[in-house]
């Protein structure tokens, strides 16, 4: 299928989110449907945001939204205009202990994957800052380094997904995303400029070991992230099929609930040990899955579900 780039209109750009269970946010803004990075592990195609829109996507030329992930992008150009209207009239603001009233860009696409999405993201961040909202950006893109003039603010934190440092492996897992080496260079630039930063060390492939985690964390700590999120790859949906189709043999080792849970537990132990040795365990934030019940202790799960991050937010941005 040829790459499809279209636009689409939406009614409400600001949605309440369940991602407070991961300590990420209380609201999300998705500036597009689809994503051109084509990450084989991505869970988004399996969510209702895509599965319930088969007809609309088909009308745009997308025949199989799950398996064709990475080959379509429907940009929502009216997000900034609608966001301004929404915030100018909004009287109440959700602030949960774990979500902390934060707005995340984005949960279902990458906000800085190309110039179009970068432009919409920039305008959205400016509007959110105008209304003193807390902003979390998560990206694999590099174009955010052009927006440091609006990102170096106490109400904004910028995060990059950096699950490993292997560029060759990245080309197989996330074929259209910038390689990890380039992402790390961008983080170094942001660090030197004084940008608030975090890292999503997720999702890690099952091949990663204690040694890999330790080496990776030693590199990450150099950019002084406020928090390091972590979870392993979950290959039990259509993403598993995409990984196998991409020649990623390791996917077959975590495609059952039992094998996935055992890998999760092993890597959880390894990354905590590595973080302790590197001296950054206080910044490590685990993203557990409730389906681990029966494989790990309930108390270990409850420790992380709906847990606030250690990030310090400016109280002014809370109102």
Tell me the domain boundaries of the chain.
4-318
Residues 221-266 have pLDDT tens digits of 999 999 999 999 998 877 888 889 889 999 999 999 999 999 999 9
Q: What is the pLDDT of residue 51?
A: 65
Q: Mean pLDDT of residues grouped by 10 in the chain (319 residues)?
A: 86 96 98 92 78 74 80 94 97 96 96 97 98 97 98 98 95 94 98 98 96 97 98 87 89 93 97 98 96 94 96 67
CATH superfamily of 4-318: Aldolase class I (3.20.20.70)
pLDDT at 38: 87
**CB burial of residue 295 (10 Å; 0-12, 13-18, 19+):** middle
pLDDT single digits (tens) 177-221: 999 999 999 999 999 999 999 999 999 999 999 999 999 999 999
CB under 8 A, 24+ apart: contacts of 126-133: 126/150, 127/80, 127/83, 127/84, 127/87, 128/83, 128/87, 128/103, 128/155, 129/153, 129/155, 129/156, 130/87, 131/87, 131/88, 132/316, 132/317, 132/318, 132/319, 133/87, 133/93, 133/101, 133/103, 133/317
Closest by alpha carbon to 56, among 9, 15, 13, 11?
A: 9
E strand or H helix that includes residue 151: helix 148-151
């Amino acid at each position: 299928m040829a790459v499809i780039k279209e636009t689409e209109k939406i009614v409400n750009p600001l949605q309440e989110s369940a991602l407070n269970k991961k300590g990420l946010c209380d609201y999300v803004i998705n500036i597009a449907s689809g994503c051109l990075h084509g990450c084989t592990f991505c869970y988004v195609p399996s969510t209702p945001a895509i599965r319930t829109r088969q007809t609309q996507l088909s009308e745009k030329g997308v025949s199989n939204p799950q398996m064709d992930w990475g080959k379509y992008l429907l940009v929502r150009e009216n997000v900034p205009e609608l966001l301004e209207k929404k915030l100018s009239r909004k009287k109440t603001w959700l602030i949960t202990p774990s979500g902390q009233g934060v707005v995340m860009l984005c949960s279902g696409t990458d906000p800085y994957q190309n110039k179009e999405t970068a432009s919409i993201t920039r305008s959205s961040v400016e509007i959110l800052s105008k209304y003193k909202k807390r902003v979390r950006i998560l990206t694999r893109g590099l174009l955010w380094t052009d927006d440091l003039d609006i990102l170096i603010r106490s109400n904004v934190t910028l995060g990059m997904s950096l699950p490993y440092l292997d560029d060759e492996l990245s080309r197989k897992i996330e074929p259209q995303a910038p390689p990890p080496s380039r992402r790390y260079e961008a983080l170094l630039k942001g660090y030197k400029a004084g940008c608030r930063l975090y890292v999503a060390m997720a999702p890690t492939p099952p091949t990663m070991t204690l040694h890999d985690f330790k080496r990776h964390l030693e590199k990450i700590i150099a950019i002084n992230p406020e928090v390091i999120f972590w979870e392993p790859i979950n290959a039990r949906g259509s993403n598993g099929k995409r990984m196998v189709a991409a020649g990623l043999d390791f996917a077959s080792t975590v495609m059952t609930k039992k094998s996935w849970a055992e890998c999760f537990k092993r890597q959880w132990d390894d990354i905590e040990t590595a973080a302790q040795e590197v001296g950054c365990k206080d910044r490590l934030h685990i993203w557990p899955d409730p389906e681990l019940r029966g494989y790990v202790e309930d108390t270990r799960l409850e420790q992380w579900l709906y847990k606030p991050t250690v990030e310090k937010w400016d109280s002014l941005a809370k109102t």
